[in-house]
Amino acid sequence: MPYTKKQQPYNYYLPVLICSLLFLNACSARLVENLTGTVVSIPDVVVHGELSDMSRLAPEWSPTRGQAIGYVWPEERHLPPDERSQTSEINLSVGEAFDPYLILKSEKEETFLITMLVDFEQVAFELDGQKGLLHEVVVPPGSDLEIPIELDIPQPGIHEVIVFAFVDPYNGTLDHQYRMSTANKGVGRRAIVLVGDSNELGRQLPAPLHGELVPDGIDLGLNAAFATYTTREDVHPSKRQLYVTEAKPGETFNYHLWVSNLQGEMGADYALMMFYNFHQVPIQNQDVTVVRLEPGEEIVIPTSQQLVSEPGVNQLQVVYIFDPYRSILNKEVRAAFVLSDFRIAVDTSGLLP
């Protein structure tokens, strides 16, 4: 598959898919409105209060609904998006850094918490000259906010590089409607980066888990969602969806990850990564879990998370892509997006009635 830094023009951002969930009867958790707690402390955050002269608010080339994220090469910042080179598949020499400008867009002012992953592992990177695991940036409405980034990829071979921005990360609301919506929770971009002449993959992924047919009578599938933990096999995850719940500080929180391809028109490999308070954590002892689902199949994965001892609102969010290490330009992937569904809240401060 081709990996070229300069190729046909390619839109510099991927649209954000915004959807509203119009169901309430399937939710097993208590409905809560207008109740807000304080999120637990989030370590490893670099706060970018003022950006350097290297960054700029560029013209908004096209209006944005929600949020968007992308790249632009330094020498092409003056060009309109449809005249810029693609940034989905990139060639680098050994020792050469991945250093485009990051483009952030938002329909309204939002706080972004930005992270990057190389071969499905969260890594530190430089944003506007400062290195860190998580970077906090306030994105103004309209315009294209361009910020220089630098990411080192020392190992030769084919690499999956993901940038993801968690939107509104400090919102400690326990409002059920907010947690049920996938809108404004995050936006990401993936790129295949070939370093040197090696065609070896940056890592060997774990063997995929395989799904089973969705039971008769189930007409709801949410791609990747959370469900309350149970040992009963007769209660489908659609009947125990999880958005807001409570626990005790420091305890082990058990839950189910429900992945579904009920409405899909083609099979795909799902590469799933879990984030707890915006830090990558394992799913069943794997930093990335691969699931193979054909249309009409689903899988329920039991897993757990050790909660921090600090009382407050904990947050869990799954981020995933389709068909890892496959060519984006050759359309070998089911979708070129970085996807994320719900960001659930687990309150350990006793706020829930």
Q: Could you read off the pLDDT of 281-307 as tens digits, one per residue? A: 999 999 999 999 999 999 999 999 999
Q: Is residue 237 part of a domain?
A: yes
| Burial class, 152, CB count within 10 angstroms (exposed 0-12 / middle 13-18 / buried 19+) | middle
User: First CA to last CA across the chain, in angstroms?
Assistant: 56
Question: In this predicted model, what pLDDT tens digit does every residue of 127-149 receive, in sequence order?
Answer: 999 999 999 999 999 889 999 99
Residue 31 lies in a domain: no
**Residue 67 belongs to a domain:** yes
Among the candidates 195, 227, 243, a domain finishes at 195
Q: What is the pLDDT of residue 10?
A: 37
Same structural domain, 272 and 190 = no
CATH number at residue 77: 2.60.40.10
Binning pLDDT at 50, 70 and 90, where does residue 4 land? very low
In contact, 28 and 230? CB cutoff 8 Å: no
Apex 52 CA angle, 147 and 42, nearest 5: 70
CA distance 64 to 185: 15
Q: Is residue 278 part of a domain?
A: yes
Q: Are 56 and 74 in contact (CB under 8 A)?
A: no
Domain finish residue from 162, 195, 228: 195
Q: Tell whether 229 and 273 lie within a shared domain.
A: yes
Q: With beta carbons less than 8 A apart as the criterion, state whether 9 and 83 touch.
A: yes
Q: What percent of the chain has pLDDT over 70?
A: 91
Least confidently predicted of 56-60, 164-168, 207-211: 56-60
pLDDT of residue 23: 40
* 157-163: average pLDDT: 98
Residues 57 and 179 in one domain: yes
Establish if 284 belongs to a structural domain: yes
Residue 63 and residue 172 in one domain = yes
Whether residues 332 and 231 fall in one domain: yes
In a domain, 260, yes or no: yes
Looking at the fold, whether 311 and 234 belong to one and the same domain comes out as yes
Domain span at 232: 209-347
For residues 202-226, average pLDDT: 95
Q: Are residues 244 and 131 part of one domain?
A: no
Q: Tens digit of pLDDT for each residue in 223-273?
A: 999 999 998 888 999 999 999 999 999 999 999 999 999 988 899 999 999
pLDDT of residue 26: 39
Number of domains in the chain: 2
Report the alpha-carbon distance of residue 67 to residue 44 in Å, rounded: 24
Asked whether residue 24 is domain-assigned, the answer is no
Note whether 158 and 229 are same-domain residues.
no
Please say whether the beta carbons of 165 and 135 come within 8 A: no
Q: Do 271 and 343 share a domain, yes or no?
A: yes
CATH (domain of 222): 2.60.40.2550
pLDDT exceeds 60 at position 313: yes
- Within this chain, do residues 142 and 216 fall inside the same structural domain, yes or no? no
Q: Within 13 Å of residue 271, how many CA atoms lie on the same side as its CB?
A: 26
Determine, yes or no, domain membership for 266. yes
3-class SS shares of the chain: helix, strand, coil, % to 5: 5, 45, 50
The reply to whether 321 and 215 lie within a common domain is yes
Question: What Å distances lie between residue 297 and 215, 302, 316, CA to CA?
Answer: 9, 17, 24
Does pLDDT of 28 surpass 70?
no
- Written as one string, the DSSP assignment of 203-271 is SPPPPPEE-EEPPTT-----SEEEEE--S-SSS-GGGSB-SEEE--TTPEEEEEEEEE-TT-SS-EEEE
Which of 195, 220, 249 is the last residue in one of the domains?
195
Mean pLDDT of all residues belonging to the chain: 90
Looking at the fold, whether 155 and 279 belong to one and the same domain comes out as: no
Check pLDDT > 90 for residue 46: yes
